[in-house]
Structure 1
Amino acid sequence: MLDSIPLQWPYLLILVAAVLVVVLRAKRGAQQPLPPGPRPLPLLGNALDFPRRHLGREFRDLSDRYGDVVYLKVLGQSVILLGSYEAACELLEKRSANYSDRPQSVMVDMTNLDWIFVFKNYGSEWRKYRRELHNMFLPDILSRYHPIQRDITRELLQNLLTDPAAFSGHIKFSFAAAIVRVVYGLDAAHGDKKYYKLAERLANIAEDISTPGQHIVEAFPSMQWLPSWFPGAGFKQLAASWKQEIAAIRDHLYESAKEAMATNGVKESILTKLTEEKVDEELAKNMMATAYAAGADTTNASVHAFVLAMAMYPEVQKKAQAELDAVVGSGRLPDFSDQKCLPYVTALTKEVLRWHVVAPIGVPHRSVADDDYNGYFIPGGSIIIANQWAMSRDPNHYPDPENFNPDRFLINGQLNHKVRDPSSYVFGFGRRICPGRNFGEAGLFITCASILHAFTITPPLDERGVPRKLEMKTNNLAVSHPLPFECRIAPRSPHMEELVRASTA
């Protein structure tokens, strides 16, 4: 009996240490209050306080009531809502070591979707992916792809000239063609919807999985062990189908690119760069598919918002066109080198990013350890949501925020750097900031400038020939797209029509 006592000491020490951790954490939580928030219901907690229609707007309403840091308890899970830029920067930027993890997702696990960079947990493998993605989008490397973006944008102009009513499909094709060329070195033939359909499919699945409240199994993880035939377990069949479909798309794109390199020769691309650097094939395959889906989908959403804004705000369109006429002239189309002389057009692209925030609440972070902020206790393991949409509507920085007004970013005809740049929050925060943001902004600029220089965008007409009133309506997913709308797109003059035709001859 006495001989067995020493063997029990390690277990007793572990037990005592565990108890101390629990007691100290409880004591700390008792000393510091949780952030304010709505009163939770028994069992459900604050599940009914989660948005039903508009993620950003309804979360902003909670922040208006309780402050820029709000605490929610959803079925036992702590959720911290950050409603201000300042709070997001303090936690996600300055304390990024504690706030760069991702929440656990049952659907991500069941679909094996954690190879997509945005879903990866913070750690050594994430850092390896981050390093390679950062190197893929360095400024000097991105400038090599400007001719590709410019040429594909001019093909977009040609397509708008040929069939303006199908503008939405043309925009989707254009960004899929640009990203598949830059990432894989593949050329998308005109009218071939395959590549944008693949990008759209990848993005749609990822958006569905990352939208809060989409799948009941995220709230009740134990449901993942139910048989697929059990009532309410339809997510299992969905996850199995998505798992197979996503892997097939990723592998098809990579193998198609490798085959094209072998048969048609090498075209400079991210694939050739990774091949030269002898990056692990699985790592390369995963990063390229991530860049492909994200790059084609997010900028596509921004350009649709741009087209809608131009139809709704004709005075903004005219001011941008006047600047383009003065700087670029009537003898050519805009190029990247023109941007420094186009402050109004540049301000217009910033306003597009602000007016329609593509990721209203970003992708949630997760706190690793307990923390405190302004006297409030932030439990470790909390889901952290930064309401990027609310930041874009802060009247202290953007008076009359629902109005589309590029002048808010200008002073004396030049960019006003004292006004908060939307790119400081719409691409995320801290170590989780989007690595492809510069590529996306470049694509947005050349597309907006080129369309404005060549075309006039107006609302559709009703049966009496009167312009219809347009308004911004969006879906309610983690990545926000304007709902389908109609508009008229016509060349500004016969000369511009000929210029567009000549640009792709």
Structure 2
Amino acid sequence: MFWEILAFILGVTILARYLYPWRNSPLLPPGPKGLPLIGNLFDMPSSSEWLTYAEWGKKYNSEIVYANVAGTSIVILNSAYAAKELLEKRSAIYSSRPRLVMLTELSGWAFAFALMPYNDAWKARRRIFQKHFYPSNTDIYQPLETEYVHQLLFKLLEDPKPFLEHIRHMVGSVALSITYGIKIHTFNDPFINLAERAMTGVSESLVAGAFLVDTIPVLKYVPEWFPGATFQRKARNNRKAAKDIRCLPFIETQKEMASGSVAPSLISLSLQESNSEEYLDLLRDVGTQVYVAAADTTASSVGSFILAMVCFPDIKVKAQKELDHVLNGRLPEHNDMQSLPYLSAIVKEVLRWQVVTPMAVPHLATEDDTYNGYHIPKNSIVIGNSWAILHDEADYPDPHSFRPERFLKDDKIDPFVKDPEEAAFGFGRRMCPGRHIAQSTLWLAAGCILTCFDLRKAVDSNGQEIEPSREYRLGGIIQPLPFACIIEPRSKESEQLLRTALI
């Protein structure tokens, strides 16, 4: 009887949701023609969806494309202009989030304020975040960034082969220290491993169309043992990781506070303001958001930077000449940024070339709207295609080439070239509030690595160069897969410089 009732509810839900958008036959944005009832269910890509949506834009000659999956309207924005017009200028009706059943209801991430609807709960958490990470306040975290970047240099000297692991450790250490005041000493730290496990589930669940339960929520009631319900087993594992990452680092900070040994951090400072259970809940949510988001995304960007320097040696050499000229035998510091425009241009190009989140976190249209004559139905899922925006030839000529020079004019950052930040970190009111720290960490790591190390292609037993793999682990957040390269000190002086930095 259960299955008969479920089938009936499912059928009625699909029928009602499919028919609704066509009641008044509005002019919807162009897109592939769907099938009765299920719409574009079989048109939705299962991976590298940003490439598919970009191709749809070219095929239909439109910066905005549309799909309907079993009654759920999905609108993809493939241009910076469309994203700015809707998600920023009309943010009053595009700042909420859609119902992400797999991620929030089944996987236990409803507490993450980046995924919350635009409501009072989101505003309360965002307020705490901004208090500690307002751009003018982020200078206080620079000593922590410097400490862990210098530790990264030493690890690359001692054992360069697992460089992606070293990067992950460095970025995770910065995030843990800033958020919880926890110092990381071991290579395989359990908190860093926990964050990676938790974010793997998040990344998989953020892919639009990856889980049918997001478009047909009634499927959430299908039991785990039912054939084909692998999403339920994934969700169970995700729930455990989400619970642990929300609670365990927070408990560790409370323990260190009780012993009087805690370092200043977002959580330790905030705990001095109130001890009410409601406030503690807010802090757990905010702390988790800061920690996991920073650890995964920034590690990806630093890994992409290494890949770019190995693949494009002329750019590496030019950057090292600038560093040598400006620094005169010392390591870069944050206040050198204005004096190192080519390095800053490289960082911008890394963010553009391999954008960490190729598809932005989905927004929700809370009202009916019209754009360029096209109707956007209320409750549409609206997603900025960050990859397409950052590979738009109109803004970035020869977009598939790695060319930092595109951001420079007269040896200065050209203010008339679109900053990749405008798409790489989300849009409108939901833009990542921690982007300043992410960029700061990436810039310092890039500068210090280039100052101290030569990065080049590995060679085989015959002395032939090995082209590094440019493959990425795909998902809502992409990560470079391990690739072979040589990382060694540029000179004896460089080695001595990085050793001195740890004293």
Q: What TM-score do the two structures reach when normalised by structure 1?
A: 0.92
Contact 2:198 / 2:238 at 8 angstroms: preserved in 1? no
Could you tell which deviates more after superposition, 284-293 or 228-237?
228-237
Match of 2:166 among 170, 191, 204: 170
Contact 1:183 / 1:288 at 8 angstroms: preserved in 2? yes
Distance 1:341 1:187 in 2: 32
Which residue number in structure 1 is paired with residue 482 of structure 2?
484
Distance 1:407 1:29 in 2: 51
> For each residue in 1:430-460, what CA deviation from the matched residue of structure 2 results, as whole angstroms up to 9, or x when unmatched?
1110010001010010000000000011011
Which residue number in structure 2 is paired with residue 62 of structure 1?
56
> For each residue in 1:132-171, what CA deviation from the matched residue of structure 2 results, as whole angstroms up to 9, or x when unmatched?
1111211232101101100110000000000011111100
The answer to whether structure 1 residue 37 and structure 2 residue 5 are counterparts is no
Gaps of 5+ in 1: 1-21
Distance 1:302 1:241 in 2: 27
Which residue number in structure 2 is paired with residue 255 of structure 1?
251
Which residue number in structure 2 is paired with residue 288 of structure 1?
287
Structure 1 position 29, deviation (Å):
6.9
Contact 2:132 / 2:266 at 8 angstroms: preserved in 1? yes
Amino acid at match of 2:144: I
Contact 1:68 / 1:84 at 8 angstroms: preserved in 2? yes
Distance 2:245 2:149 in 1: 25
Amino acid at match of 2:121: E
Contact 2:83 / 2:384 at 8 angstroms: preserved in 1? yes
- Alpha-carbon spacing, 1:458–1:433, altered in 2? closer, same or farther (3 Å): same
- Alpha-carbon spacing, 1:503–1:190, altered in 2? closer, same or farther (3 Å): farther
Match of 2:430 among 413, 432, 441: 432
Match of 2:348 among 347, 350, 355: 350
> What are the residue-to-residue correspondences of 1:9-28 with 2, within 5 Å?
none
Contact 2:197 / 2:241 at 8 angstroms: preserved in 1? no
Which residue number in structure 2 is paired with residue 92 of structure 1?
87
Distance 1:103 1:453 in 2: 45
Match of 2:402 among 389, 401, 404: 404
> What are the residue-to-residue correspondences of 1:316-327 with 2, within 5 Å?
316-327=315-326
Match of 2:203 among 207, 219, 228: 207
Which residue number in structure 1 is paired with residue 131 of structure 2?
135
Structure 1 position 301, deviation (Å):
0.3
Contact 2:353 / 2:402 at 8 angstroms: preserved in 1? yes
Distance 2:407 2:386 in 1: 18
Distance 2:379 2:116 in 1: 16
> For each residue in 1:147-199, what CA deviation from the matched residue of structure 2 results, as whole angstroms up to 9, or x when unmatched?
11001100000000000111111000000111101110010004243232121
Structure 1 position 32, deviation (Å):
4.1
Contact 1:102 / 1:365 at 8 angstroms: preserved in 2? yes
Q: Which runs of 4+ in 1 moved over 3 A?
A: 25-32
Match of 1:184 among 180, 186, 190: 180
Match of 1:153 among 149, 152, 162: 149
Structure 1 position 264, deviation (Å):
4.5
Distance 2:429 2:23 in 1: 28
3-state SS of the aligned residue for 2:370?
strand
- Alpha-carbon spacing, 1:193–1:84, altered in 2? closer, same or farther (3 Å): same
Which residue number in structure 1 is paired with residue 96 of structure 2?
101
- Alpha-carbon spacing, 1:33–1:214, altered in 2? closer, same or farther (3 Å): closer
Identity %: 36
Match of 2:494 among 476, 493, 496: 496
Which residue number in structure 2 is paired with residue 473 of structure 1?
471
> For each residue in 1:396-441, what CA deviation from the matched residue of structure 2 results, as whole angstroms up to 9, or x when unmatched?
1111111111110001111111000000111011111001000101
Which residue number in structure 1 is paired with residue 268 of structure 2?
272
Distance 1:193 1:281 in 2: 25
- Alpha-carbon spacing, 1:85–1:205, altered in 2? closer, same or farther (3 Å): same
Match of 1:228 among 215, 224, 238: 224
> For each residue in 1:103-158, what CA deviation from the matched residue of structure 2 results, as whole angstroms up to 9, or x when unmatched?
11222212331101221111111111111111121123210110110011000000
3-state SS of the aligned residue for 1:140?
helix
3-state SS of the aligned residue for 1:118?
coil
Gaps of 5+ in 2: 1-15
Could you tell which deviates more after superposition, 436-445 or 481-490?
481-490
Amino acid at match of 1:137: F
Distance 2:332 2:412 in 1: 19
Contact 1:327 / 1:341 at 8 angstroms: preserved in 2? yes
3-state SS of the aligned residue for 1:87?
helix
Amino acid at match of 1:48: F
> For each residue in 1:478-500, what CA deviation from the matched residue of structure 2 results, as whole angstroms up to 9, or x when unmatched?
10112221111010001110111
Structure 1 position 298, deviation (Å):
0.2
Distance 2:326 2:242 in 1: 45
Structure 1 position 26, deviation (Å):
8.1
Larger Rg: 1
Amino acid at match of 1:42: P
Q: What TM-score do the two structures reach when normalised by structure 2?
A: 0.92
Distance 1:369 1:334 in 2: 49
Contact 1:223 / 1:233 at 8 angstroms: preserved in 2? no
